Structure 1
Amino acid sequence: NIYPLALLNEIEKLLLEYKKENNILHISEFNRIISGIVLSQPVPFIYERIGEKYNHYLLDEFQDTSVMQWHNLLPLIENSLAGNHFNMIVGDGKQAIYRWRGGEVEQFARLPELIAKDDNPILHEREQALRNHFIGRTLSGNFRSKAEIVYFNNRFFRFVASTFREETGHVYGSPEQEFDPKNTGGLVTLEFLEKEEEKALSRTLSLIHELLEDGFEPGDIALLVRSNKEGALLAGFLSANHVPVVSSESLLLKYSPEINFVLAFLQFVNDPADSIAKASMLNYLAACGKVKGPGRNTLLQLAGKDTAAFREYLEREGYRVNTYYLAKMPLYELCEEAIRLFGLKNGVYLRFFLEEVLAYTTRFSNNLGEFLDWWSERQEQASVIVSESMNAVNILTIHKSKGLEFPAVIMPFANWKMSKGKRDIWIHPADEKIQNLGTALVPLSPQLERTAFGQAYREEKSKAFLDNINVVYVAMTRAAERLYILTSPPQPLKDLSRLFISYLEHEGSWDSARTVYNFGEKSPRVKKPRAGTRHFAPAELVAAGWREKLKIRTSSADVWESEGEEKKTRGLLLHYALSKIKTREDIPQAVHAMLTEGMIGREEAEALIQRITSLLDHEEIGLFFDGESDMRSESDIILPGGEVLRPDRVIIRSDKVIVLDYKTGKADEKYKTQLGRYVALLGQMGFGKVEGYLVYTAEGRLERAV
């Protein structure tokens, strides 16, 4: 292991440099830093404020607390006890399942003694303070489970404790759980299946149907597994068989075939030469029957060919994929296009994936390559979010189930190895032949037992066995009414199934020809009314292309004709430019603004300046752009009924008011009528003398109409 150690050393150097440059600390370092302070100071200054504010402390789940964490908390406990205040430590050594995270059950079992105190006088003083105030109480009553379940668990774990006394004695030597003998009606079923996933899945499905027929709701049932992989397997199988499931782990988006297809499609668009992405796409399409023709091997060979051949094949199958066009689409639209193009149906997963895409584009960017890099990390957390009140079968790991209870529990894969634990352990060689090697990481193999580190090997194997027994204990104590344990024929290495068989042999019940053992009997179940929460989801994901439904006008209707940009006229542009001009000097600035906004091109801008200049060269028209009078351009006149009129230009002089209306077409009587209405309204508004003129821009002609 010298090479991994060297690599770890280099990584640590880079990490230290990064933390120094950014002035940061990893949160896991705080316990170690605090430990260095509290173990050297009788009254650590860092706790002064906390000790003043709080008098009582409750430490829950103490069996999973690390030695360092406990030592760090001791000054607060000691200070509280010195003030004669009440403190409480709560835990259950049989539920210590977080040793891999530093939890040390031994320090709970040996309270009030402190472990790993060495010769530290401060720790010895704190231990004495604990001894002086310590009162141990055992809460042995079980108010959760039926009598039959508690009785079975008591006898099973009593057998385990007596058989493996060295490994479990300090934890399982405590009194057994007490139960109400009147609280009967529970059932424990221990069933041996062939060690095949398909049989365990099928049997789990049939048990769920049995429970539903017996009056249980889907939300009353929990499936407990050791790993997320097992949870995902169960969730996929049950969902395919129309059983509603809830699982934070197994509903991860990355487990959806449709999501993986969309990601492969995005990889292909990002890099059309990516053979793995093309193979993933074809594999999904073939599995779903969306493509016909050659077998899967031929399709995978096709993925290795050039992009043109791949696109031609998809086009023959009815999927037109233009990577050049797709690469220019916004990221969210691109995902919708993939869903629409290939007719993807898993709406729930796709909806949550699109929400992830939208959140990314809102917060970061629309860059496809960057999104794919981001998703490679995000996929471990992104999942379908469902309401906890949803009436569905619960799938969760045993570690997540700790502290919970369910009316019915099924353990579909209760066949793990009891020797499962660490693969490697740290040792301290202290060998004169190996200089400067204070610590080494070595494989946990049987050969280690025959070395000077045999004691370390045996201790680790013993702790690993206890860890696994505790996991079994947590799983088997979650059930209130029914517990179903599906295991397999025994294998070597102390399988859990071997342990069950040993227990049955001890009880005199084992029969090699028998596969099902029942303890207790089914009892009628009265359905409890559930809260009236209703859950619904759209039947399918709607991903229709908005471009076919919406037409976006690139500027206002005052500039473009209603038919669109392609039919804009020079007269409309001239009309718009005149609305932005107060005097002749404003012409270049107004036209440049139109050019900047993309309304006209450079050649059109030059022509427009010439047209406006020519129009204002008209002797009478030019007088209306002298800038000496108060001018209002395109100002609204709101009538009492809410109608809005908008004269093109109103010039307010000391002796009169002049109204101009620009017209790009030929003369028409309706123009005069409209202008007359403007003049009349201004008169009603209190302006004395009002004149009205029509400016025909195409002809460069001025006509007084009112």
Structure 2
Amino acid sequence: MQDAPYKIYNASAGSGKTYTLAKEYLKIILSSDFNKNYRSILAITFTNKAVNEMKQRILGSLFAFGKMSDSNEIPSMLADISQELGIDLGTLRNRSRKVLKEILHNYAFFDVSTIDKFTHRLIRTFAKDLKLPQNFEVVLDTKLLLDEAIAKLINKAGTDAQLTKVLIDFALEKIDDDKSWDIALDLQKIGFLLFNENQAPHLKKLEEKDIDDFLDLKKELVLQIQSNESKILSWAKEILDIIEGNDLEFNNFKSSYFPKFIAKIASGDLNMDFNAGWKQNFESEPLYTKTCPQPIKDILDGLHPRFIGLFNEIKDHYNALSLVKNAYNNIVPLTVLSAIQQEIKTLERERDLLPISSFNSIISKEIKDQPAPFIYERIGEKYRHYFVDEFQDTSEMQWNNLIPLIGNAMESQDDQGKIGSLLLVGDAKQAIYRWRGGKAEQFLNLINLKENPFVFPPTTSNLPANYRSHEEVIKFNNDFFTVTSPFLENTVYNKLFVEGNNQNYNNKKGGLVQLSFIDVDESQEEDGEYCKLVMKTLEEVLEKNYSLKDVCILTRKKKHGILLADFLMQNNIPIISSETLLLNSNPKVRFLVNLLHFSLQPKEMERCYEILSFLSEELENRHQFINANMNKVSQLLMGTYGFNIDIIGQSSVYDGLEYAIKKFGMGDSSDAYITYFLDVVLEVEQKEGANTQAFLAYWDKKKDSLSITAPENVDAVQIMTVHKSKGLEFPIVIFPFANTNIYEEKDAKIWLPVNPISFAGFEEILINKKQEVVGYGPLAETIYNEEQHKLELDAFNLLYVALTRAIMGLYVISKKDLTTKGEHKPNYYSGLFIHYLKEKGIWEEAKTCYQFGNLEIQDEPFYTGDHQEKITHLCTYKERPEFRILTKAGALWDTQRGKALSKGNLLHYVMGLIETIEDIDGALDMLIRNGDLSHEDSLEMKQRINAIAEHPKLYAYFLKGSLIKNEQDILTKNGKVLRPDRLVIKGNKVTIIDYKTGKRNPVYHEQIYTYADALEAMGYEIENKILIYINEDIATDFIQ
């Protein structure tokens, strides 16, 4: 009986998600004797790390199943599969062996992939239909593309009159607002909308709009601003006239609030708010105090209704004014958005580029509506079973693009009459990539049956147990999120944390959760206190026999990670973080970059100082050395190091740097930073050309993000952001700076639907998101509140991810952040922690540390690590030949010596093309066709080659049956590159042949001995060492 075709697994942190995915996958491929079922499965996840983990789990399980004997303990997964499929263990064991062999022999059909890789494959397949170049390059860093597009757009100022006016007006408006006239940053902020999938539906409505349409909207907004301001001033003056006309004084009003407020408006100050208590209660409370004389009370009571009407008019029109001003502030960047997009498209066409952010929209527009069988036919696969991991991170567009393919599989049958299937795995509590298009609501809607795009209803299952953490950690998280969930105002989100956060314990007892609070006022002291407490916590952990590599420090913000990294390094604690892994953090890399700068600007003092500072790192008289050489850096480099700075200018960037690495002895040992740096250089050269200026421009933009891959099993504390920790686990987690503002945003914007009649034909306007938006009307208030609720969920989700990474010990370091009344602040993480402690009845204002459970002393290291090979050599710079232009033609071609040299070199070259006697004619024909050899000279050349190949002592080395390596590079263990002319290999024995011209020389013997030593180090047995002297006669020298 076939399993349910549509399954959803709700998998909380540590609940065995990968185990479940692998088990369900294996059930399909082991359900029958047909060993190619895996070819009909597409498993999708979101990171390469997750792809590798899933592949390893599947292949590892097949290997374990296949090698298991009757005496072995049965793997739990195999037992589960046997029970669920009703197939005996012996049959499953045999099938596992066959399927594993089939997969390994046809690995390309083993489709476990990231969703981006799958969509990339689709786009490549349909490239011709989409009029895309077949060899398009995928752009991962859209910021560089956007920056260049904006620069090109700004450079058009002065050539396009309309665009010029828009940009100049915008710059002048920024100056009027006391802001920088530089508009590039504003254009960049708005330009990022083009790469944000969440913005696509809104930007689609602007596709038909041109600059004139936006200018019309701008004029309309200006008119509305003027109209609203005029009316507000008029009503304010009318109120003052009423007060004066009734002989009232400001002090007749309660605390003079109302008349002072109106007088401020009438003076032209239109910066106001309506949050004060008297404004909120203006209609219901009297305008006077109890001690006010009765005649005045009577006058004010009589005027109150009129004041209410005018007050409300001011309030309503102020909200309308705020709306149009808000929209006006975004109108100019939005006006040029289309122009930015055109510049991006131009760059894409000129360079055959395609941003990765465009993948989903291209499929949505061009491919999704094609019949599924046609798509399958084009990509050469027909998938029957789909697995989607981390579904909560799937964007709407990604999901909608998959639905037709999945639907087709589920609604049709294969040759055995079986329908396709879909398995979704996710956890809405771990959706922390909303900014990248991920939507927790999408997963919630499927689970709650609010949406179902397929004919079959889903079978939903919860994975109940946490297999990662120890009991105290699980218990704390269950309890904490249940207690704090009422802070989520949205009922669906609240329910998610109430019902979805009750994980069962595993057999791991004990564990520790510690909540600590720093108690400071000044932000500078605050950072220092966090660092000190992290250090103290780290010392406590190490005392219990944990290793540094067992500890991971998580931070919400990158800047806090940098702060902690600096602090710990100053205290001699080895760390691994994104900052320490930056190429630009490495002194050798910075030195090489400074050499490139120096090659272009040798008189720039900053570069001279940086170069000398690096070279004098170990000197005692460092400052004296730098001062003495500041004006003669080139001479120092040549005299002391034999380094000619001119070679960098005359070479490609890569060759120049390789030359520098050799001269300064940087290649004598392995250095991951230099290796990665050279990779970057080579990549840029392939795209931009071997131009030093182009590389340095690229480096300046990317130096703060280019980094090496974190090495595994290094005994050092890891520091990473919470986002990067998702999907990972660590024995000990320290989470400092745990006092995030739940509603904190930067440059947040929202799209507000408006009446096209009032807004020059626009259906939506872009506005800055701020508290005043709730006053724009009921729709604006609803949209604003929905966005606030999303912020609440995202903040809770981020906190959930942070608190569920720990296996044994979780240390949270927050701040005792209370109001002046001593109350906790619910919009901060600290408020959630304090609220939890209060609800548990254990909060004490004087207490700063709370422990739940106990961290046991480790008897042995938690992680042992794998054996690692150490590479002792980085790279080798091969000396380039020096080319000189001869001023006299006769120096080569018109002399007997010149002819001899030419023929000797050409003969040497031809011998490199020949493996056996049968190759001689073909090699000579090629040279004749290429114009390198005349037919007449080829006859003479053939005689000389035959004299070598048919020589009685050499004939055997030019016959078939041996492996021939002509001019094959050999890299020795000390990094030197050797290149013997000819190696003749039979089994484990090798004969070395080298061609020479001129007289015999003992140096040649030394050279061939060097070749022999290198080959013996590689495990070969040297059979013969032969020097062949190519002069008028052929002579041989067999060396013992």
Does the 8 Å CA contact 1:147/1:179 hold for their aligned counterparts?
A: no
Cα distance between partner residues in 1 of 2:996 and 2:472: 87
SS in 1 for 2:734: strand
- The residue number in structure 2 matching 1:476 is 803
1:23-68 CA deviation, whole Å, 9 max, x = no partner? 7654433423433468868868535667972222111111111222
- The residue number in structure 1 matching 2:443 is 108
- The residue number in structure 2 matching 1:206 is 536
Cα distance between partner residues in 1 of 2:615 and 2:533: 31
- The residue number in structure 2 matching 1:55 is 384
1:312-342 CA deviation, whole Å, 9 max, x = no partner? 4989999999999524445566687699889
TM-score calculated relative to the size of structure 1:
0.66
Cα distance between partner residues in 2 of 1:553 and 1:29: 47
- The residue number in structure 2 matching 1:90 is 425
Does the 8 Å CA contact 1:253/1:349 hold for their aligned counterparts?
A: no
SS in 1 for 2:846: coil
Relative to structure 2, which stretch is displaced further, 38-47 or 510-519?
A: 38-47
Does the 8 Å CA contact 2:609/2:630 hold for their aligned counterparts?
A: no
Residue in structure 1 matching 2:434, options 77, 88, 99:
99
SS in 2 for 1:203: helix
Is 2:375 the partner of 1:46?
yes
- The residue number in structure 2 matching 1:224 is 554
- The residue number in structure 2 matching 1:615 is none
Residue in structure 2 matching 1:267, options 597, 601, 605:
597
Is 2:660 the partner of 1:326?
no
Cα distance between partner residues in 2 of 1:175 and 1:74: 26
Relative to structure 2, which stretch is displaced further, 525-534 or 461-470?
A: 525-534
For 1:93, the aligned partner's letter is A
Does the 8 Å CA contact 1:64/1:104 hold for their aligned counterparts?
A: yes
Identity of aligned residues (%): 31
Residue in structure 2 matching 1:382, options 706, 725, 734:
706
- The residue number in structure 2 matching 1:510 is 843
For 1:209, the aligned partner's letter is E
Cα distance between partner residues in 2 of 1:225 and 1:202: 15
Is 2:761 the partner of 1:436?
yes
**Structure 1 residue 475 displacement after superposition:** 0.9
For 2:531, the aligned partner's letter is L
Cα distance between partner residues in 1 of 2:516 and 2:735: 10
Relative to structure 1, is the Cα distance of residues 446 and 644 closer, same or farther in structure 2, using a 3 angstrom cutoff?
closer
**Structure 1 residue 175 displacement after superposition:** 3.7
For 2:787, the aligned partner's letter is E
For 1:220, the aligned partner's letter is D
Cα distance between partner residues in 1 of 2:662 and 2:788: 51
**Structure 1 residue 632 displacement after superposition:** 8.0
SS in 2 for 1:447: helix
- The residue number in structure 1 matching 2:338 is 9
Cα distance between partner residues in 2 of 1:74 and 1:469: 30
SS in 2 for 1:87: strand
How many residue pairs were aligned?
568
Does the 8 Å CA contact 2:749/2:769 hold for their aligned counterparts?
A: yes
Is 2:867 the partner of 1:525?
no
- Structure 2 spans left out of the alignment, 5+ residues: 1-329, 413-418, 819-824, 885-889, 905-939, 955-992, 1000-1030, 1036-1040
- Structure 1 spans left out of the alignment, 5+ residues: 118-125, 303-308, 556-564, 566-573, 581-585, 598-627, 649-677, 683-706
For 1:109, the aligned partner's letter is L
- The residue number in structure 2 matching 1:75 is 404
- The residue number in structure 1 matching 2:477 is 153
**Structure 1 residue 420 displacement after superposition:** 2.5
Is 2:462 the partner of 1:138?
yes
Write out aligned runs for 1:290-309 (5 A). Answer: none
**Structure 1 residue 352 displacement after superposition:** 3.8
1:393-438 CA deviation, whole Å, 9 max, x = no partner? 3322222221221111111332222113453223144232211333
SS in 2 for 1:133: coil
SS in 2 for 1:408: strand
Residue in structure 2 matching 1:402, options 721, 726, 736:
726
- The residue number in structure 2 matching 1:501 is 834
Larger Rg, first or second structure (1 or 2): 1
Does the 8 Å CA contact 1:219/1:390 hold for their aligned counterparts?
A: yes
**Structure 1 residue 473 displacement after superposition:** 0.2
For 1:464, the aligned partner's letter is L
SS in 2 for 1:184: coil
Does the 8 Å CA contact 1:261/1:280 hold for their aligned counterparts?
A: yes
For 1:90, the aligned partner's letter is V
TM-score calculated relative to the size of structure 2:
0.47
Cα distance between partner residues in 1 of 2:829 and 2:758: 43
Is 2:499 the partner of 1:174?
yes
Does the 8 Å CA contact 2:517/2:814 hold for their aligned counterparts?
A: yes
Is 2:751 the partner of 1:456?
no
- The residue number in structure 2 matching 1:490 is 817
**Structure 1 residue 180 displacement after superposition:** 3.0
1:172-221 CA deviation, whole Å, 9 max, x = no partner? 23243333376321000111124533333333233333323312233322
Does the 8 Å CA contact 1:225/1:412 hold for their aligned counterparts?
A: yes
SS in 1 for 2:343: helix
Does the 8 Å CA contact 1:335/1:354 hold for their aligned counterparts?
A: no
**Structure 1 residue 18 displacement after superposition:** 4.2
For 2:407, the aligned partner's letter is E
Does the 8 Å CA contact 1:231/1:397 hold for their aligned counterparts?
A: yes
Write out aligned runs for 1:18-33 (5 A). Answer: 18-19=347-348, 25-33=354-362
Relative to structure 2, which stretch is displaced further, 354-363 or 141-150?
A: 354-363
Aligned-pair RMSD on alpha carbons? 5.2
Does the 8 Å CA contact 2:467/2:506 hold for their aligned counterparts?
A: no
Does the 8 Å CA contact 1:109/1:170 hold for their aligned counterparts?
A: no
Relative to structure 1, is the Cα distance of residues 259 and 414 closer, same or farther in structure 2, using a 3 angstrom cutoff?
farther
SS in 2 for 1:482: strand
Q: Which has the higher helix share?
A: 2
**Structure 1 residue 235 displacement after superposition:** 3.7
For 1:216, the aligned partner's letter is Y
Does the 8 Å CA contact 1:64/1:102 hold for their aligned counterparts?
A: yes
1:3-25 CA deviation, whole Å, 9 max, x = no partner? 22123221112223444566765
1:379-398 CA deviation, whole Å, 9 max, x = no partner? 35532345423343332222
Does the 8 Å CA contact 2:372/2:405 hold for their aligned counterparts?
A: no
